[in-house]
Amino acid sequence: MASVCFYFQVHQPYRLRHYTIFDQSTDYFDSFKNSQVCRKVADKCYLPTNRLMLELIRRHGGRFRIAYSITGVILEQFREYAPQVLESFQELARTGCVEFLAETYHHSLSYLFSPQEFVSQVEAHRHLMQELFGQTPRVFRNTELVYNNSLARTVEQMGGFDAILAEGADHILGYRSPNYVYRPPNTRKLKLLLKNYRLSDDIAFRFSNRGWSEWPLRAEKFGQWISAVNGNGYVVNLFVDYETFGEHQWEDTGIFEFLRHLPDEVLKHPDNDFKTPGEVADTYEAVDAVDVPHFVSWADIERDLSAWLGNPMQHNAIRELYNLESLIKASGDPEVLESWRKLQTSDHFYYMCTKWFADGDVHKYFNPYDSPYDSYINFMNVLDHLRSRCNRTVSAPADAVTATASMSR
Amino acid sequence: MSVRTIMLGWEFPPFISGGLGTACYGLTKAMGRMGMEVTFLLPRMNPVRISGGNPETVFELESGLPNVRLRPVPSSLIPYGKYGPRSPARRLSATELESLCGGPAPYGPNIREEVHRYATRVLQIAESEQFDIIHAHDWMTFPAGIALAAHSGKPLVVQIHSTEFDRSGEHVNQYVYDIERHGMHAAAKVITVSNYTRNIVINRYGVPPEKIEVVYNGVEASGEVLSRQEAPVRKDLDRVVLFLGRITMQKGPEYFLQAAKRVLEKEKNVKFIMAGDGDKLYGTIEEAAWLGIGHRVFFTRFLRGADVHRVYQMADLYVMPSVSEPFGIAPLEALQHSVPVLISKTSGIAETFRNALKVDFWDIDEMANKIIAVLRHPPLQEALRVNGRREAVRFRWEDSAARVHEIYRRVLNVA
């Protein structure tokens, strides 16, 4: 058997507006830019791709099956700026061929800094999936596929999860193939699905690269690569950003045509099928435990945390953010809490990355800043203002008590 | 084939007052090291003397410059006008001050004569020289370059280090503008130090774009720079923000002051040092007093040698708020001293340098915002320092010289 397991990541952050140390507004987010990006990507990617997915699911009568992980912050933006996108995802949910995965509501790195915050964000996201799509997720993927052994244990302890996703990085797999189901060490029944990064990246990154020896990539050729897995594995995990379709790979590259014909080509081989991550976990037994003591992610060639935590500015910003946790929660101000959570979205730290700044590379995509320094300054100014708001609300009741006391005297 | 160049410049170490001398020296030295023969004709070197210093001979200067010959041209041409730092420090009278305010860059009354006399003498001296190409730096040498090209039949390349629009804003000196324009049109190629300047040359001087080549400046790798750890200067609790450059309209000193005032609203322990001379010096001192920040702004006048090193060692941030800066070597020098930089977007360096903070010179709040950020956040200061320094050392004069050589070969059609 070779099962194709598609999972698409759908996410956009709440980008910050330009905010100087002199600003006093409590409105930190650039609603104009965010609505612009949301509508643009909706038109180029989300709407046409959802339409195509629906068409494919109907045409193949249940044999074409896919999964999404959609963050809470993009769903909020869909509601506000592009409600028709949300409706089209709901229509996909109703086909019964689409699985929705769980992740942190705010696409955060909270697992690294605050386990209790992490748990509450995952719970919030699970509830949102139930509310919007009528299903409770049973498979977990962490932000940017950040993963290690202890994350797997935490997720199992939360309960209700049958599988977890991670990057099939060479340094964790060694000689082993990502095309089997594995398990994390020291867990009882949780299964580990690892991304086949070669085949995933063929679609997500190399598809339009004319310098690539396999260019142009057609569905037929890709279908043959999938069929070749038969006998060497059970499942090909294709984990890609949804924006690959129409946004990272423009329509004129032929990416939609590729997708349109892919199910036919895969299903040509009688032993092939499509399965969602939950179905893969139900169908196949784990063959081995994969030990991941250090964090891996799906970013860049390093496949580590260095895109978000690679320089002192990023460490400083994120530590200052999580240092505020008790103050924020003590303030009892829901608006402050919500802003703090939106600041946790990993993209804010990604913009501060200096790793490839010299070459000015892929990371420019959707990046609202001219430089990582500008993004750090902006973030720290917002954080400073947020802190001053909690100081006010936290110290206010104390003042009120003193004032009452002195008046009664 | 080795190209023999006759170069017309107007300042050279140890007589430097700004970027032009530094650039001519760096470029010429690198060209010489690459085996190109350069004869540099320099106004007023009979004999070379540093005021108050040791006499220095042409011979000694040449000894560090293989393949370069220096030939003095008796002349009293002074770059940047008569209030450049070469003129002795003295108080200006009220009328002199007034005449300078808002006017075009101040040149002496006999500037036309001097430019003409320089051209005549260059022709005489060049009689005894063998050369393939003429390379003239900035407008004062253009009449000489044009005359020499006509006389010798050799091609002329002019290099624009700054235009009249950079120096004087919209109040251009028509005489200077005409010479600049004439030189650019007479030349076989125009070299600019940035795309920023290239656009000015296209839009303001009507030069066809295909005739203009950009050659970025380099920065001298200076071995004598002390690391911050061994710096002898004891730092007090105050953080120091540095302006170092000529205090003229072009350099934007008033924007620096206004940003300083905004910074002091948020941060108490900050000093602002303004190092340099210029026709706006006294006005700037008064302005600081008017803004009520006179006790936080310090004026050092023009600094040389060890004093420059010392002031860099004191600084936490270097700010270049230029209204119009064709290139901007100074930020690269600051980074060599491990001082992070905040630079104006209207500069040549901003278009090609990444690891600096950038700001519109008129955006006072944003300038203050960024100054405060550097003072408050050590990780930011450190990142700008380390990454900026690494990037700054990549600006090498050898690369500029190689580009110039390439341009010569195209002009001479020997490619």
B120 reaches A (C-beta below 8 A): no
In a domain, B270, yes or no: yes
What pLDDT was estimated at residue A407? 41
**Confidence class of residue B87 from pLDDT cuts 50, 70 and 90?**
very low
Q: Are residues B359 and B404 in the same domain?
A: no
Test B382 with A312 for CB contact under 8 angstroms: yes
pLDDT tier for residue B71 given thresholds of 50, 70 and 90: confident
Residue from B258, B264, B369, B391 to probe the interface with A (highest A Cβ count within 10 Å): B369
Choose the closest CB to B383 out of A22, A358, A373. Answer: A373
Which amino acid makes up residue B268? Answer: K
Question: Counting Cβ atoms within 10 Å, is residue A205 exposed (0-12), middle (13-18) or buried (19+)?
Answer: middle
**Candidates A314, A377, A379, A381, partner chain B, best to mutate (most B CBs within 10 A):** A377
Asked if B359 and B407 sit in the same domain, the reply is no
> Are B377 and A21 an interchain contact pair (Cβ–Cβ within 8 Å)?
no
Average pLDDT over residues A110-131: 98
**Dihedral of CA A375/A376/A382/A383: which sign?**
positive
Structure tokens belonging to residue A87:
């409706």
Range list of β-strands (E), A289-368: none
Write down the mean pLDDT value for chain B: 85
The domain in which residue B114 lies consists of 4-218+396-412
CATH code, domain carrying B308? 3.40.50.2000
Candidate list A99, A144, A243, A265, residue with the active-site label? A144
Instruction: Dig out the tokens for A317 from the structure.
Output: 């910003």
The whole-angstrom separation of Cα B167 and Cα B162 is 7
The verdict on A22 touching B (C-beta cutoff 8 Å) is yes
Give pLDDT tens digits for B188-226.
999 999 999 999 999 999 999 999 999 999 988 765 554
Task: Tell me which fold the domain A2-283 belongs to.
Answer: 7-stranded beta/alpha barrel (3.20.110)
Measured in angstroms, the CA of A29 and the nearest CA of chain B are apart by 18
For chain B, the farthest-separated pair of C-alpha atoms sits apart, in whole angstroms, at: 64
Residues B118 and B187 in one domain: yes
Shared domain check, B157 and B11: yes
Contact assignment for A376 to B266 by CB distance below 8 Å: no
Are both B169 and B310 inside the same structural domain?
no
Point out which residues pair with A16 in neighbouring strands. A29
Residues B194 and B207 in one domain: yes
How far is B57 from chain A, CA to nearest CA, in Å? 44
DSSP B173-242: -HHHHHHHHHHHHHSSEEEESSHHHHHHHHHHH---GGGEEE--------TTPPPSTT--PPP-SSEEEE
Do B94 and B109 fall within a single domain?
yes
CA dihedral A13, A18, A20, A22 (to 10 degrees): -110
Residues B156 and B21 placed together within one structural domain of the fold: yes
- For chain A, give the longest Cα–Cα distance: 88
CB nearest to A373's CB, from B262, B376, B380:
B380
Chain B residue numbers touching A376 (CB-CB < 8 A): 373, 377, 379-380
- The answer to the question of residue B190 being in a domain is yes
Residue B207 sits in the same domain as residue B64: yes
- The chain A residue lying nearest B380, using CA atoms, is A313
Average pLDDT for residues A310-321, to the nearest whole number? 97
Q: Output the pLDDT for position B60.
A: 56
Closest CB to B369: pick one of A21, A316, A354: A21
- pLDDT tens for residues B241-288? 999 999 999 999 999 999 999 999 999 999 999 999 999 999 999 999
Q: How confident is the model at residue A187 (pLDDT cuts 50, 70, 90)?
A: very high
Instruction: Please give the structure tokens belonging to residue A389.
Output: 């708001």
**pLDDT class of A391 with cuts at 50, 70, 90:** confident
Q: 3-class SS at A297?
A: coil
The stretch A147-152 carries a mean pLDDT of 98
The alpha carbon of residue A49 and the mean position of all alpha carbons in its chain are separated, in whole angstroms, by: 18
Nearest C-alpha of chain A: how many angstroms from B258? 14
- A329–chain B Cβ distance below 8 A for any pair: no
pLDDT in tens, B98-112: 343 333 444 666 778
pLDDT given at position B304: 83
Asked if A313 lies within 8 A of B383 by C-beta distance, the reply is: yes
Tell me: pLDDT of A362 over 90.
Answer: no
Residue B136 tokens, joined? 């003239």
- Residue A292's DSSP bridge partners are none
Give contacts of B355 with chain A, Cβ < 8 Å: 357, 373
Q: Verify whether the Cβ–Cβ distance A371 to B357 is below 8 Å.
A: yes
* Interchain contact A311–B (C-beta under 8 A): yes
Interface test with B, best of A311, A369, A373 (most B CBs within 10 A): A373
Strands B239-244 and B212-214: unpaired
Looking at residue B261, what is its pLDDT? 98
Residue A335 scores a pLDDT above 60: yes
Q: Does the beta carbon of B382 lie under 8 angstroms from any beta carbon of chain A?
A: yes
Question: What is the least distance, in Å, from the CA of A396 to any CA of chain B?
Answer: 23
CA distance A377 to chain B (A): 6
pLDDT, residue A409, reads 37
Does the beta-carbon distance from A316 to B377 stay under 8 Å? yes
Q: Do A22 and B369 touch (CB under 8 A)?
A: yes
Whether residue A357 and residue B262 make contact (CB cut-off 8 A), yes or no, is no
pLDDT the model gives residue B76: 66
Closest-CA distance, B377 to chain A, in angstroms, reads 9
The residue of chain B nearest to residue A311, with distances taken between CA atoms, is B383
Least confident of B58-72, B226-240, B311-325: B226-240
Cα distance between residue B116 and residue B121, in whole Å? 9
Q: A263-277, B51-65, B78-92 — which is least confidently predicted?
A: B78-92
pLDDT at B21: 81
Domain-located, residue B225: no
pTM: 0.89
Q: Domain limits of chain A?
A: 2-283, 312-396
Banded model confidence at residue B114, pLDDT cuts 50, 70, 90? confident
Q: In this model, does residue B93 exceed pLDDT 80? A: no
For residue B143, cis peptide bond before it (omega within 30 degrees of 0): no
Task: Say yes or no for a CB contact (<8 Å) between A354 and B387.
Answer: yes
Residue B262: its chain A contacts at CB < 8 A? 22
| B226 located within any domain | no
Closest chain A C-alpha to B378 CA, distance in angstroms: 9
Question: Number of CB pairs < 8 Å for A and B?
Answer: 60
**Does A325 contact chain B (CB < 8 Å)?**
no
Please confirm, yes or no, whether A144 is among the known catalytic residues: yes
Determine which of A16, A19, A21 to mutate to test the interface with B (most B C-beta atoms within 10 Å): A21
Instruction: Give φ, ψ of A285 to 5 degrees.
Output: -85, 150
Q: Are strands B4-8 and A272-274 parallel, antiparallel or unpaired?
A: unpaired
Mean pLDDT for all residues in chain A: 93
DSSP codes joined into one string, A104-168: -TT-B-HHHH-HHHHHHHHHHHHHHHHHHHS----EE--GGG-B-HHHHHHHHHH-S-SEEEEE-
Kindly state the average pLDDT of the residues B95-124.
Answer: 65
- The structural domain count of chain B equals 2
Closest Cα in chain B to A380: B373
Is residue B18, in this structure, part of any structural domain at all?
yes
B264 shares a domain with B162: no
Of A315, A357, A377, the CB nearest to B354: A357
Residues of B in contact with A375 (CB under 8 A): none
- A22 vs B262: CB contact, 8 Å cut-off? yes
pLDDT at B46: 38
Same domain, B209 and B258: no
Instruction: Verify that B268 and B400 share a domain, yes or no.
Output: no
In chain B, which residue's Cα lies nearest the Cα of A18? B366
Give A288 to chain B, closest Cα distance, Å.
43
